[in-house]
Structure 1
Amino acid sequence: MSDLYDVTIIGGGPAGLYSAFYSGLRNMKTKIIEYQPELGGKVLLYPEKLIWDVGGQPPILGEKFAKQIVEQGLTFDPCVCTNTKVDFIEKNQEDNFVISTHDGEQHISNSIIMANGGGIINPTRLDIEGSSKYENQNLHYTIPSLKPFYQQKVLISGGGDTAIDWAHELLGIAKEVIVIYRKDNFTAHEANVTKLMNHPDSTLLNNTTIQKLIGDRQSIKQVQLLNEQSNEMNVIDVDHVVVAHGYNQEDSFNLSTDLELERKDGYFYKGNSFGCTSQEGIFAAGDIIAYEGKVHLLVGAFQDAVNAVNSAKSYIDPNATHSAIVSSHNERFKEKNQEIIKDMLNI
């Protein structure tokens, strides 16, 4: 028989991790289930991006922020299951939630917090023969570090904000940046496209697609491009190829027939600002929940997490206080604070 948890959080991104931190603060037995092999969520896709919009936090690289939010989320030692996909959710005879996962395991919980963001996100792969053998070499679907691109010739395929943002990040680091897009006009923010067009180290090519990757067993050396308007073929030398063709969003929302969905730019659970969804006992936090006044920023994910945890606590214990004691008065931090102060003073 599986252990019974007070709350199981589905999703290990910022909303899920802060939910784990806050539920630990509220003395709840907590589990995190994450589909990806590591915690951190979508922030891991942009490790070199500077994040400016977290209150009280100076501009911070995505990689460092992800590390910090994971560390905070694990403060109270929740059980963590990575590489685990949730297949469906149902209730047992004891009125507990049974979460069935792809590996045949069942996870039992009094309550659930859905923090699965936009669902399971995987980058759209380049549909070119032989491309997969270069994925661990110089064919990239994200940019984990800017260092490998120093003084290199980089081809970026894609016309959206991600492609153009990466191009801007590489300016001044790469020797040359070439951005190609299959349509007439780039869909990224017009001002950013214009800046890139006017930069001496960048080239933008419309109506252009990758036809062939030319290289050896180690890396791509050249790329064959097709201008689909003029039908002209061209081969260029490259050091790196970055593909930004968007992400495949797996349908991971219909986990319980009683959860009500709505479709806007993506799928969302209908709910309210307290994290409640259409099914009693299942709460939500972060990008996955829709309600009037929703803030789609990291700071909004933190507030969602607090409200979802408080609602889950009240659901399993109606006599519980509405929220946790603030950290300056919370007994759970006394010992940790002493350890931190001793470390700071080198005692």
Structure 2
Amino acid sequence: MQHLDITDVTIVGGGPAGLYASFYSGMRDLSTRIIEYQPKLGGKVHVYPEKMIWDVGGLTPVTGATLIDQMAEQALTFDPEVILNEKVTKIEKNEDNLFVLTSHSGNQYLSKTVILAVGGGILNPIKIDIEGADRFEVTNLHYTVQSLEHFKNKNIIISGGGNSAIDWANELEPIAKQLHMVHRKNEFTGHEAHISQIMNSTANIHFNSTIEKLHANAQGDQIEAVEIRNHETNQEEEVKTDALIISYGYERELTFIKESPLNIEIERDFFVKGTSKSATSIEGLYAAGDILSFDGKVHLIAGAFVDAANAVNQAKLLLEPDATAKARVSSHNDKFNSRNKALLRHLYQKS
């Protein structure tokens, strides 16, 4: 089904870059649509809802969950159209030079410009390769840590050796009854300070090892123990557990970009090659956040915000060549006058 409403800007992805692009697009009086594959906005930040985020300029440390709430609220300021649970499978142009975005459900969306803000693509966790493991995903086999409290006073096994596995280990070790880490290599790969922290903790580290078997409880609905094999000694050890966390990274899906008939220029397999102003090789198609690659790129949430503003500004100039190069800053922007008065009234009433 083709949606006949033609938007000025369609943003693919509802993470930090996409959410700020939505806000900034509204500041520039552009009709805006967000299409997000997940059932909620926030993007990859949902992977670490309880982790503290320190490096967003002017923002004191907040949890990932709080940051999502604040970004989403800001993104909806100018009432964009938001479409969730929709996976874009194709992007092309029609005879009217409009972008046509086709989804997995068969819906088609028309737009004058498009901003790709898909991060590293649709992220699916790499799962443990043991037959029947998926039946434990509803109980005590985890691919992310949504709540630290859920793991308090439990025997925990984390399999993996990258930054995410180490971060989770450092956060869980103080509250766990016992923590084991299983890694197939002979050393971790991550930030040195974080590695040092876990190596000097009470965690039991199993290097050169993999999980070979999962042993279920009598009811067959939970993992009761795992069998760990050391590849150097060939010794096997059975370790009791209340929770198994798998951290093997993510598979990235960017098919709709790579296979687009527009021949979007890609580099290093999954980055869209662009410019410092967020333009891509296709006129009217822009990128922001982790998906965008250019010399001097800053891979921080703050950098994603800059990419988003640049993308919107380029879209505005394409659609309205006589427009100003950028939006007027919010402290002097008439669009916020009534909102500012309401906020000030609320502030004075509280004081």
TM-score range, shorter chain: over 0.9
Segment of structure 1 superposing worse, 9-18 or 315-324? 315-324
Partner of 1:197 in structure 2?
199
Partner of 2:213 in structure 1?
212
Q: How far is the alpha carbon of 1:42 from its aligned partner?
A: 0.9
The 5 A counterparts of 1:172-251 are: 172-199=174-201, 201-214=202-215, 215=217, 216-251=219-254
The 5 A counterparts of 1:72-91 are: 72-91=74-93
Distance 2:156 2:186 in 1: 21
Gaps of 5+ in 1: none
Partner of 2:315 in structure 1?
312
Q: How far is the alpha carbon of 1:233 from its aligned partner?
A: 1.8
Distance 2:198 2:346 in 1: 47
Normalising by structure 2, we get a TM-score of: 0.94
Distance 2:254 2:58 in 1: 35
Segment of structure 1 superposing worse, 315-324 or 210-219? 210-219
Aligned equivalent of 2:162, options 160, 163, 181: 160
Is 1:60 aligned with 2:87?
Answer: no
Distance 1:277 1:256 in 2: 15
Q: How far is the alpha carbon of 1:174 from its aligned partner?
A: 1.2
Segment of structure 1 superposing worse, 224-233 or 94-103? 224-233
Deviations 1:265-320 (A, max 9, x none): x5211111111111101011111111121111111111111110000011111111
2:12 maps to a residue whose letter is I
Normalising by structure 1, we get a TM-score of: 0.95
Q: How far is the alpha carbon of 1:128 from its aligned partner?
A: 1.7
Distance 1:306 1:47 in 2: 25
Deviations 1:90-127 (A, max 9, x none): 21222111111111111000001111111111111122
Partner of 1:42 in structure 2?
44
Is 1:261 aligned with 2:266?
Answer: yes
The 5 A counterparts of 1:138-153 are: 138-153=140-155
Partner of 1:94 in structure 2?
96
Equivalent pair of 2:262/2:282 in contact (CA under 8 Å):
no
Distance 2:329 2:188 in 1: 48
The 5 A counterparts of 1:90-129 are: 90-129=92-131
Q: How far is the alpha carbon of 1:27 from its aligned partner?
A: 1.0
2:106 maps to a residue whose letter is G
Is 1:283 aligned with 2:293?
Answer: no
Q: Count matched residues.
A: 344
Is 1:169 aligned with 2:174?
Answer: no
Distance 2:339 2:136 in 1: 46
User: What SS does the corresponding residue of 1:3 show, helix, strand or coil?
Assistant: strand
User: What SS does the corresponding residue of 2:4 show, helix, strand or coil?
Assistant: coil
Q: How far is the alpha carbon of 1:35 from its aligned partner?
A: 1.4
Deviations 1:29-70 (A, max 9, x none): 000111122110111101121111100001111111111111
User: What SS does the corresponding residue of 2:175 show, helix, strand or coil?
Assistant: coil
User: What SS does the corresponding residue of 2:302 show, helix, strand or coil?
Assistant: helix
Segment of structure 1 superposing worse, 177-186 or 303-312? 177-186
Aligned-pair Cα RMSD in Å: 1.6
Deviations 1:187-235 (A, max 9, x none): 2234432332221x21110121112222234422211222222222221
Distance 1:218 1:260 in 2: 47
Percent identity between the two aligned chains: 48
